[in-house]
Amino acid sequence: MIVGLFNDWVVVFLMMSGLYIVIAHGNLIKKIVGLTIFQTSVFIFYISMAKVDGGTAPILADDITLYSNPLPHVLILTAIVVGIATTALALSLVVRIKETYGSIEEEDIQHQDNQTLEMNKERKQS
Amino acid sequence: MAIAIIRMTDLFAVVMLTGIYGLLSASFFVAMDAVDVAFTEASVGAGISTLLMLVVISMTGRSEKKTRHKPLPALIVVAITGGLLIYGTLDMPYFGSTDAPIHSHVAPKYVNDSMEEIGIPNIVTSVLASYRAFDTFGEVIVIFTAGIGVLALLSVTRRPEDDEEISSNNDSMHEQHLVIRIVAKILIPFILLFALYVQFHGDFGPGGGFQAGVIFAAAIILYTMLFGLSTARKVINQTFIQLIAATGVLIYASVGVASLLSGGNFLDYNVLTSDPVAGQHLGILIIEWGVGCTVASVMIMIFFNFANRREMQRTNKSMHDTNQESQ
């Protein structure tokens, strides 16, 4: 054993790079990619918890006694497929935003929103 | 890898890297004994998600604008959160230790008793489809709902005369990829067959409805990409696919109702036949089939809607251009 917690540290590193992309980048697709990385880090975290030294994959066979924990595998297996379905939903929102605003950069969208707000205000005052 | 994804502004390269990243994490999962999960991640992470992202990029543009605000505050937030998380991990059990709390509660029951109670060798499948069947039911419904959401956001009604125009475009475009098309034509039946094998072999080896559904959808999507949308639309009817997605959920739920009617709890397969173990086998087989149907058709539905939308945008643009020229 070199460092017993290295798996957790790898997960924390991946998670933080995902979080950094979500915070620091304005492009919506980049943000979704960041969320995907964040998501995968959680997957790796669960699977690494399930690992048992000397154990094998949880498929029963006669001469094997030690198995990895099957429960996290089940949770993550479904989570991956649910994850791609929700990512697709996010991507379709991005497509609609592009159609409406003509841009997928956060700043441009904010700018356009502010302009319409001001226009509405002026209209009310007059 | 992650750092490269952060630094790059060319979104196409970013998406390609996430594909490789997906494949890489699939191999992590094999190394950590999670074969079922690796299977899913390889087909989802490296296959479908990359394809979807590529379609979206082709609609929204390829390059990212440089942001004006400074990355320093974000970096500080990330560093603090990361530091706290690392501090939290100090209490965690070591990697691979056998006496970690996670291994002491329900897991031994699953490992020791599932052969007698369920009677199938793959513990992951028996937990997924029997012990935690209600959970899986919820997840299938989430997938179904996401499919409906994409449908509501992106679906376009099309007229038949549009189709002809597009297909003539496609024919000229796709003649370039002759080699790929012929190879794919040979491969696609085997991919479909493999998906069915994964579907029905899930009791004994790694596999099951989720993986099979994704692989099946990947084969159809490959076909669509190579032979054009209008050809694929002739092969697979849109309404039919939407019907299948709903039928999958219905199959799953009706197994639950059937077990209720025969005197058990919801999704308790023991009562389905006179022999409890045979009942478990039957129940798992049917609900895995329901899961496979829903997952495959929702994935195909999502892809079709993205591709439809893209084509609509293109035709609108070309019409716009010709109008401008005539003026």
Say if the Cβ atoms of B56 and A13 lie within 8 Å.
no
Helix (H) or strand (E) holding A101: helix A70-101
The pLDDT of residue A2:
55
In this predicted structure, the answer to whether residue A56 has a pLDDT above a threshold of 70 is: yes
pTM score, two decimals?
0.84
The pLDDT tens digits of the residues spanning B272-317 come to 777 888 888 888 888 888 899 999 999 998 888 888 888 888 777 7
* Rounded CA separation B255/B267 (Å): 6
Report the length, in residues, of chain B.
327
The pLDDT of residue B90:
81
The pLDDT of residue B162:
53
Say if the Cβ atoms of B35 and A57 lie within 8 Å.
yes
Strands (E), B14-111: none
Two tokens, residue B188: 């696609």
β-bridge mates for residue B205, sequence order: none
Say if the Cβ atoms of A40 and B22 lie within 8 Å.
yes
- How deeply is B231 buried, as exposed, middle or buried, from its count of CB atoms within 10 A (0-12, 13-18, 19+)? middle
Say if the Cβ atoms of A60 and B302 lie within 8 Å.
no
% of chain A beyond a pLDDT of 70: 97
Q: What is the mean pLDDT of chain B?
A: 80
Two tokens, residue A113: 């929103």
Q: Measuring CA to CA, which residue among A57, A8, A11 is closest to residue B100?
A: A8
Query: Chain A closest CA to B235's CA: distance in Å?
Result: 23
In this predicted structure, the answer to whether residue A111 has a pLDDT above a threshold of 70 is: yes
Mean pLDDT check: name the lowest of A52-56, B15-19, B31-35, B127-131: A52-56
Mean pLDDT check: name the lowest of A32-41, A109-118, B139-148, B197-206: B197-206
Does residue B10 sit in helix, strand or coil? strand
Q: Which residue of A has its CA nearest to B120?
A: A60
For residue B94, what are the CA distances in angstroms to A10, A72, B3, B111, B291? 14, 17, 27, 22, 36
Average pLDDT over residues A34-63: 83
Angle at B304 between CA B299 and CA B306, to 5 degrees: 100
The pLDDT tens digits of the residues spanning B41-100 come to 888 888 888 888 888 888 877 777 766 666 788 888 888 988 888 888 887 777 777 777
β-bridge mates for residue B10, sequence order: B63
Two tokens, residue B154: 């992106």
Mean pLDDT check: name the lowest of B85-89, B210-214, B266-270: B266-270
- CB distance from A27 to chain B under 8 Å? yes
Two tokens, residue A3: 């460092």
Query: Chain A closest CA to B56's CA: distance in Å?
Result: 7
The pLDDT of residue A96:
87
- CB distance from A2 to chain B under 8 Å? no
Among left, alpha and beta (phi > 0; psi -120 to 50; other), residue A39 is: alpha
Give the residue with greater pLDDT, B270 vs B84: B84
**Among the partner residues B61, B67, B298, nearest to A85 by beta-carbon distance:** B298
Say if the Cβ atoms of B32 and A68 lie within 8 Å.
yes
Say if the Cβ atoms of B111 and A58 lie within 8 Å.
yes
Question: Where does the pLDDT of residue B142 fall: very low under 50, low under 70, confident under 90, or very high at 90 and above?
Answer: very high
* Rounded CA separation B202/B70 (Å): 50
For residue B325, what are the CA distances in angstroms to B52, B66, B67, B99, B321? 33, 34, 36, 74, 6
The pLDDT of residue B71:
74
In this predicted structure, the answer to whether residue B247 has a pLDDT above a threshold of 70 is: yes
* Rounded CA separation B200/A36 (Å): 30
Say if the Cβ atoms of B52 and A94 lie within 8 Å.
no
Q: Which residue of A has its CA nearest to B213?
A: A81
Q: Which of A95, A101, A110 to mutate to test the interface with B (most CBs of B within 10 A)?
A: A95
Q: Which residue of A has its CA nearest to B206?
A: A59
Two tokens, residue B147: 């499919």
**Among the partner residues A4, A68, A82, nearest to B33 by beta-carbon distance:** A68
- Interface confidence (ipTM) of the complex: 0.83
Give the residue with greater pLDDT, B171 vs B97: B97
The pLDDT of residue B236:
80
The pLDDT tens digits of the residues spanning B2-19 come to 566 666 667 777 788 888
Q: Hey, where are the domains in chain A?
A: 6-51+67-125
Q: Which of residues 61-120 of A touch B (CB under 8 A)?
A: 61, 66-74, 76-89, 91-96, 98-99, 104-105, 107
What's the CATH fold of domain A6-51+67-125? Helix Hairpins (1.10.287)
Q: Hey, where are the domains in chain B?
A: 1-94, 121-322
Q: Which residue of A has its CA nearest to B53?
A: A91
In sequence order, the 6+-apart residues with CB closer than 8 A to the CB of A79 are A43, B139
In this predicted structure, the answer to whether residue B25 has a pLDDT above a threshold of 80 is: yes
* Rounded CA separation A112/B248 (Å): 43
In this predicted structure, the answer to whether residue A36 has a pLDDT above a threshold of 80 is: yes
